[in-house]
Structure 1
Amino acid sequence: MAERVDYFSRKFEKKLKLEELIAESATVEKFLKRVLEVVANEFPARVASVYLWDDGEKKLLLTATYGLNAELERKVKLKMGEGLVGHTMKTHKPLLLAKASADPLFLPIDGLGEERYDAYMVVPVEFSGDKIGVMVLQRETENAFTENELKAFKEIGAQVMKHLKSAGLLLSLRGSGTTSEEVDIEDGSLEVGFSDAEDMYGVAGTIDSDEYTAQVKHRLLHRKLRKHMQQQYVFIAKKATTATTLATQGEGVIRSKHVSLSDFDTFLGKTVLVEADFVRAVKKTTEQIRKLQLSLSEHLSEWAHNIFVGHLLILKDEAYTGKIRRRIEEGIAPTIAVTRVTRAYMRFFSKSNIPSIREKAQDIKDLGLRLLKNLTTAEAEQDLEENIKGKILITRDLYPSELMFLKYQGAKAVVQVSSINVLTSHMSLIAGSLKLPFMITQDESILRAPSREKVLLDFENERIYVCPARDLLRTCMARERTRVKEERIDPKRIKTPTYTQDGVRIKVLANINLLEETRELKKWGTDGIGLYRSEFPFMVRNTFPSENEQYHLYKRIISASGGKEVAIRTLDVGGDKILPYVSDHQFNTNSILGLRAIRFTLKYREVFIDQLKAILRAAVGMRVKIILPLISSLEEVREAKLVLAEAKKRLDHLGELYTEEYSLGIMVEVPSVVWILDELADEVDFFCIGTNDLVQYLLAVDRNNDMVANFYSHYHPSVLRMIKAVITAAERNEIQCTLCGQMGEDLQMIPFLLGVGLKRFSVSLANYGSTCSAIEQYSTHQATIIANQLLNASHVRETEKILQENLLA
């Protein structure tokens, strides 16, 4: 038995093929038992059990077991602190015992059959800060578990609970203190608990089915009448995409996070169906979800693997589909049964105090609508995605994963309604990578505008129009057609490699956010990947990705470069890049001056080590660059290098192959490092100037705060002089210096950057062609003259005037 933590966890990941386990498991409970069987066999252990916390009873329930008396599942209940399992839950500390029965805390349970298995490992498991249960492994005393096995079990326990959480389990509300009977609806009534912009009549409480149907018909009639009463609605917004789109138009779909009853209205009248129709609908829905999962994984493999696991398992959960089936057996029409049960669970989830449970309201709603669609639509091949395909979605706050999902549902554009500027800059980067027009507005009244009407997004003037006037629509779209014609750049016409007019070689690399973007590297002939922002796979998941998951992703990214250089920035989260599953309250509420980037990874060291191991393994046979973000001191670099050494030591211990051909660099984005660049150059191999953060820290301006947006400018003389100082320091120490960020994509700034000696740009693929073309227009002599003029300027208006005067046509 190899006593190695990483060996266990990677071996377990390979065995735990989630899709296969789901397919072969008829119910959620059977799925969980199969997972426990895999865990037990891989250690090996004779017994594997999971206890989940029931917040209603305030007890731990033996939810599933492999190797013990299954008849006692859900019958064995332990109080907090009771027995070894309850003690582990209370203290949240693992236990490793060679002879558990000799421990004073041991609590024998009649009929469970664990007498022979006295060697114990007990680990507490939490998810997103919620203590959700305990896992136990047991075997004979003479074969006691080791410390390394305990470490591996803690890792595996977290993986198992990750899948439970992904499934939306906590075994189907049973860990939430509500019995299945409490989430129910009487046969003769419909429980109504939600409203949105279209629910005009304030329906609430419990009403008669006939009365409800009448109100549904009244609302549908109102929608038809509204077509003849068009009024233009105007809303102020903020352009939140790196795309150059001036305007886009299409049918608008207004969706509120307050889950809507009206989504179900269309289906209530279609009652001539039987139980067999429901069974077929479940099967079809399962097929659709698997098909969508496969389609997404081809584009976004770093997150799509688990995104639909919850949907698939909910379909197997007796607390949901079983309840619907029983209602149908009682004589209720399938569409009404689906609607009642779905809405009841939506209401229950929405009332939860636990954010991760509240999120399940949307999952249940999506599944309910899919089932209804497949129950009532003759053309079964028409998926629910068509509801937003080719349309402009207006919705409340979104997470990155939701934005990516909407892209592959076919949304034409997205408007996010947010009372605060959350995730703006990085949602913008994702939208740009996806080529998805995206705007943000704080005007929540837009959610009360009529849905299914024409919507115009005017990016140039930052306005949203619902039911736009015809003249306005024609004018805006004419501007957009002109822009597309003028800005269309054929990659074949871009000369690679890139040179200035006087023959100086300039490297132009690509900024990458998503795996999908690597497909365009060859098309543009880039010099490689100058910045891969590794945080996005972390931001679109519901838990930290494992080392193995990161390894496979980085391997594909490095391979896509075609042997050219690849620079991977280590995890840069915090500030406006939150991780909802991190339990540290101070992290998810911290400002841009808080627990960010290198500060986060040095605190969460195991996360850092996993990422570094994955990068080193993925780069075997190739050369990779590792960038440390938000460095503010020499001490941080030295500490990070110690963590890197630890990662290599662990790989050596495992006998894993990894590259020694790597270089280490830092992001120059905190002004404090500019004065110690010579000392830093002794510690690292290159600099990478992150202009977005450098500008905001140098000028003390939050770049996501509209109230001070006018102060944020990379034309500020201090910014220009600092950029010059960094490039000069790199030259003095004979190390590379690359510039990434919006400054390098501003065509007006190209002569300045060339004039101060920059020879390496890293830009988004959307602006790659225009950047290369602009570089070719200048000689280094011209650029130097312009740069010197700018360095002598004393205020922003002066620099803007100089840039305008020297901008080539």
Structure 2
Amino acid sequence: MTDRTNKKEEIIQGVAASPGVAHGEVFVIHQRDLEIPVLELESTFIPREIERFERTLVETRKEIMRVRNEVAERLGEGEAKIFDAHLLVLEDTALIDETIRQVQDTHYNVEHCYAEVAQRYIEVFAALDDEYIKERMTDIRDVTRRVLQNLLGQSAQNLYELTSERVVASEDVSPSDAAQLEGSKVIAVVTDAGSRTSHAVIMARSLKIPAVVGLHDITKRLASGDYVLVDGYDGTVIINPGEETLFRYGRLKQERLNIQKAFEKSSLMPAKTQDGVTFKVCGNIGGPEECGAVLANGGEGVGLYRTESLFIGADKFPTEEEQYQAYRRTVEAIQPHPIVIRTLDLGGDKMVSSLNYTQDEENPFMGFRAIRFCLEHTDIFKDQLRAILRASAFGDVSIMYPMISSVEELIQANRVLEEAKEELRHRHAAFDENVRVGSMIEIPGAALVADLLAEHCDFFSVGTNDLIQYLLAVDRVNDRIAHLYQPNHPAVIRTLSQLMAVARKKNIPVGVCGEMAADPIYVPLLFGLGADTISVAPTSLPEIKYLLRRMNFKEAQALAKKVAGLTDPEAIFMALSAFYAQNMGDLFKDEE
């Protein structure tokens, strides 16, 4: 450990990414450049070199799948999907074909050719004005490095080898490194780059490891063995913290733990406001194994079951029977509570590369995805609908269509649903004849025609992540413009207000299932505007239920009315923050 005697305390401000407080010695990860040999081969060795490349790709795929399965088992399907994107990069036919072609044309070794081709891709993508491509740069670099290490016979850095608890400092922790966080001795993470939505941060939050990102040059300021304190609540890193600082943060850490205990105590109580209004708070899941976390954190059902985990990374589409078994297990696991199952949302950042339905698109998020994919491939869609319908015989199930942009799409989807029902009747298979059908509102156009959509569905579910991105033309995971992603933008508030007014008029329940619903600052606003239900990650449920039990619904309605009249995003945020602080002031008051 570095001698801290008489060393000056230094405070660096970054972006709070994962809550918590930790202090200890630093382990700095410097991502060294791989030394790639350049070897000219004789013609007779070229087929063998290509065979070595293809064998390495197969080995790398098994490696990624192993990591994916380990993460799914430890953290759940939501975090494991990170590695589905890695499989897409690994299996990119253009990258593979161009590498093989370069080996054949130049007679150079495959490591050299693959590194050159991959670097060209990275440079071209970095220069494109396409944020979907740019947000995948970490994945491309991570996969490229993994393939090259396997070709070179080198082992990757292993965080499991840490012999004592350390704060890991890195330029940007890769998904492969992040997958090692659990089971290692990492007590906090600090990075030069990164964002609150980076893969490493997502995993750190799931593991309750404090993280601060966006520190710019923290890896240059620190050396392995230095001593730091990490405040993941406020985004502060303190180098060489003094005894007074350590004492102060020790008290803060205990206060935060006490607050968390208060939240957990409230989690299994009804989400009932001080003036007697009860709301439903549910959990988002990616598979049956996550139902336990929903119930343990006080969830009153599942408001969003993402079904893509059954499809992504598979060698073939799952059969109706395979899907039915998964849906039935999930429905039975959450009983007696309701569950909303979202139909397939492939496309955008969730494409099945190993199947013959992948196609290149300039803007996948606005392209051939979700309900558009399903309506073109009705055989796949019907398999899923029949599976969900059969599972509805075992509990309270609703079906929800993603990415609806028009009344015609909703009518078409319902028509396919009716065909699926008729086929099950013909088989004498049991299902809920009155299963409810909902439309996701995540496209501004859908919000504008909500009154027309209401004639053909039983409920709305607002996907705020996509709705805000499409509404403001801002990609929240792009570091350069992430500050423009504002749930407190007047356009967002007005859109939600108008949508919920239409829903009230049409007597259509409204749920909200995006990140906006998981932020306690916005929860009173959403319910004040007219939301009936919110659905969030299970870990977010305790604080939200605590807040709902302390607030007054009429005051939340007054807050919504006030905010709807404001035009400055900062003023909106200040009003929401003040309401939150007012209702959460005495966190240790005993719950009745």
TM-score, structure 2 as length reference: 0.67
The one-letter code sitting in structure 2 at the alignment partner of 1:500 is T
Label 1:461 to 1:526 Cα distance change in 2 as closer, same or farther (>3 A): closer
Q: 2:360 aligns with which of 561, 564, 586?
A: 586
Shift of 1:612: 4.0
Measured in 1, the distance between the counterparts of 2:168 and 2:371 equals 36
Say if 1:252 and 1:452, in contact at 8 Å, map to a contact too.
yes
How many residue pairs match? The answer is 502
Measured in 1, the distance between the counterparts of 2:169 and 2:34 equals 14
Superimposed CA distance per residue, residues 370-420 of structure 1 (whole angstroms, 9 cap, x where no aligned partner) = 9xxxxxxxxxxxx994548854555677776874554355654456776x8
Shift of 1:621: 1.9
Say if 2:211 and 2:232, in contact at 8 Å, map to a contact too.
no
Q: Say if 2:182 is the partner of 1:407.
A: yes
Q: How does 1:16-55 map to 2 (within 5 A)?
A: none
Q: Say if 2:531 is the partner of 1:758.
A: yes
Q: 2:307 aligns with which of 531, 534, 552?
A: 534
The one-letter code sitting in structure 1 at the alignment partner of 2:182 is K
Q: Report the equivalent of 1:678.
A: 451
For structure 1, the residue ranges without an aligned partner over 5 or more in a row are 1-223, 262-288, 308-344, 371-382
Q: Say if 2:546 is the partner of 1:546.
A: no
Label 1:611 to 1:799 Cα distance change in 2 as closer, same or farther (>3 A): same
The one-letter code sitting in structure 2 at the alignment partner of 1:682 is E
Q: 1:252 aligns with which of 22, 27, 35?
A: 27
Label 1:652 to 1:348 Cα distance change in 2 as closer, same or farther (>3 A): farther
Measured in 1, the distance between the counterparts of 2:283 and 2:543 equals 13
Q: Report the equivalent of 1:714.
A: 487
Q: Report the equivalent of 2:294.
A: 521
Shift of 1:738: 0.9
Q: Report the equivalent of 1:640.
A: 413
Shift of 1:680: 0.7
Say if 1:346 and 1:361, in contact at 8 Å, map to a contact too.
no
Superimposed CA distance per residue, residues 544-597 of structure 1 (whole angstroms, 9 cap, x where no aligned partner) = 66346655543433232122111123344555557665784634x636444454
Q: Say if 2:465 is the partner of 1:692.
A: yes
Shift of 1:688: 0.7
Label 1:706 to 1:292 Cα distance change in 2 as closer, same or farther (>3 A): closer
Label 1:455 to 1:592 Cα distance change in 2 as closer, same or farther (>3 A): farther
Measured in 1, the distance between the counterparts of 2:148 and 2:281 equals 46
The one-letter code sitting in structure 1 at the alignment partner of 2:486 is S
Label 1:233 to 1:499 Cα distance change in 2 as closer, same or farther (>3 A): closer
Q: Say if 2:250 is the partner of 1:497.
A: no
Q: 1:703 aligns with which of 472, 476, 496?
A: 476
- CA RMSD of the aligned region, Å? 4.9
SS of aligned partner of 1:706: coil
Label 1:237 to 1:766 Cα distance change in 2 as closer, same or farther (>3 A): same
Measured in 1, the distance between the counterparts of 2:359 and 2:491 equals 35
TM-score, structure 1 as length reference: 0.51
Superimposed CA distance per residue, residues 670-703 of structure 1 (whole angstroms, 9 cap, x where no aligned partner) = 1111221121112222101122322232233222
SS of aligned partner of 1:687: strand
Superimposed CA distance per residue, residues 259-311 of structure 1 (whole angstroms, 9 cap, x where no aligned partner) = 699xxxxxxxxxxxxxxxxxxxxxxxxxxx9999998775468699xx9xxxx
Say if 2:168 and 2:189, in contact at 8 Å, map to a contact too.
yes
Q: How does 1:592-631 map to 2 (within 5 A)?
A: 592-602=365-375, 608-609=381-382, 611-631=384-404
The one-letter code sitting in structure 2 at the alignment partner of 1:252 is F
Q: How does 1:142-181 map to 2 (within 5 A)?
A: none
Say if 2:159 and 2:177, in contact at 8 Å, map to a contact too.
no
The one-letter code sitting in structure 2 at the alignment partner of 1:565 is P
Task: Report the more deviating stretch, 703-712 or 290-299.
Answer: 290-299
Measured in 1, the distance between the counterparts of 2:311 and 2:230 equals 30
Q: How does 1:90-129 map to 2 (within 5 A)?
A: none
Label 1:424 to 1:710 Cα distance change in 2 as closer, same or farther (>3 A): closer
The one-letter code sitting in structure 2 at the alignment partner of 1:769 is P
Q: How does 1:195-594 map to 2 (within 5 A)?
A: 238-241=15-18, 244-245=19-20, 251-252=26-27, 254=29, 256=31, 299=74, 351=115, 359-361=146-148, 385-387=160-162, 390-393=165-168, 403-404=178-179, 406-407=181-182, 411-414=186-189, 424=197, 431-438=204-211, 440-441=213-214, 443=216, 446=219, 450-451=223-224, 454=227, 456-462=229-235, 468-470=240-242, 474=246, 479-489=252-262, 491-494=264-267, 496-513=269-286, 516-535=289-308, 541=313, 546-547=318-319, 550-572=323-345, 574-575=347-348, 584=358, 586-587=360-361, 590=363, 592-594=365-367
For structure 2, the residue ranges without an aligned partner over 5 or more in a row are 37-63, 84-108, 119-139, 586-592
Label 1:300 to 1:729 Cα distance change in 2 as closer, same or farther (>3 A): same
Superimposed CA distance per residue, residues 106-149 of structure 1 (whole angstroms, 9 cap, x where no aligned partner) = xxxxxxxxxxxxxxxxxxxxxxxxxxxxxxxxxxxxxxxxxxxx
Say if 1:296 and 1:408, in contact at 8 Å, map to a contact too.
no
Q: Report the equivalent of 1:106.
A: none
Label 1:300 to 1:708 Cα distance change in 2 as closer, same or farther (>3 A): closer
Label 1:751 to 1:300 Cα distance change in 2 as closer, same or farther (>3 A): closer
Label 1:477 to 1:496 Cα distance change in 2 as closer, same or farther (>3 A): closer
Label 1:513 to 1:581 Cα distance change in 2 as closer, same or farther (>3 A): same
Measured in 1, the distance between the counterparts of 2:66 and 2:476 equals 40
Q: Say if 2:580 is the partner of 1:776.
A: no
Say if 1:538 and 1:545, in contact at 8 Å, map to a contact too.
yes
Which has the greater radius of gyration? 1
Superimposed CA distance per residue, residues 219-246 of structure 1 (whole angstroms, 9 cap, x where no aligned partner) = xxxxx999999999998754444xx335
Measured in 2, the distance between the counterparts of 1:230 and 1:435 equals 30
The one-letter code sitting in structure 2 at the alignment partner of 1:245 is G
Label 1:527 to 1:595 Cα distance change in 2 as closer, same or farther (>3 A): same
Identity rate, percent:
30
Measured in 2, the distance between the counterparts of 1:647 and 1:699 equals 38
Q: Report the equivalent of 2:89.
A: none
Say if 2:9 and 2:242, in contact at 8 Å, map to a contact too.
no
The one-letter code sitting in structure 1 at the alignment partner of 2:318 is S
The one-letter code sitting in structure 1 at the alignment partner of 2:371 is I
Say if 1:669 and 1:694, in contact at 8 Å, map to a contact too.
yes
Structure with larger RCO (C-alpha < 8 A, sep 6+)? 2
SS of aligned partner of 2:550: coil
Q: Report the equivalent of 2:442.
A: 669
The one-letter code sitting in structure 2 at the alignment partner of 1:503 is G
Measured in 2, the distance between the counterparts of 1:499 and 1:607 equals 42
Shift of 1:729: 2.0
Measured in 2, the distance between the counterparts of 1:447 and 1:544 equals 47
Say if 1:394 and 1:447, in contact at 8 Å, map to a contact too.
no
